[in-house]
Amino acid sequence: MTLKINGLSSGYRQRTVLQQVSLPSIEAGLLVALIGPNGVGKSTLVRSLAGLQPAAGQVQLAGADLLKLSPRERQHNVAYLPQTLPQVTSLVVYEMLLAAAHLGAEYAQEQIETAITRVAQSLGITALMLRRLSELSGGQRQMVGLAQVLVRQAPLLLLDEPTSALDLRWQLNVLEVVRRHVQESQAIALVASHDLNLALRFADQVIMLAPGGECRMGKPLEVVTAQSLRACYGVEGRVETCSQGFPVVLVDGVADQQRQ
Torsion of CA 41, 215, 213, 233, to 10 degrees: 70
Do residues 159 and 148 touch, judged by C-beta distance below 8 A? no
Task: With contacts defined by CB under 8 A, name the span among 20-28, 82-90, 180-188, 202-210 that binds other proteins.
Answer: 82-90
Backbone angles phi, psi at 213, to 5 degrees: 90, 0
Do residues 46 and 190 touch, judged by C-beta distance below 8 A? yes
HSE toward the beta carbon, residue 250, CA cutoff 13 A: 8
Task: With contacts defined by CB under 8 A, name the span among 60-68, 129-137, 185-193, 237-245 that binds other proteins.
Answer: 129-137
HSE toward the beta carbon, residue 62, CA cutoff 13 A: 13
Site string for other proteins, 135-174 (x = CB under 8 A): x---------x--x---x----------------------
Q: CB of residue 243 vs other proteins: minimum separation in angstroms?
A: 36
* H or E element that contains 97: helix 93-104
Residue closer to other proteins (CB basis): 19 or 83: 83
Which of 55, 66, 67, 78 is close enough to bind other proteins by CB under 8 A? Answer: 78
Q: Which residues of this protein are in contact with other proteins, per CB under 8 A? A: 47, 50-52, 71-72, 74-75, 78-80, 82, 84-86, 88-92, 94-96, 98-100, 102-104, 113-114, 116-118, 120-121, 126, 129-130, 132-135, 145, 148, 152
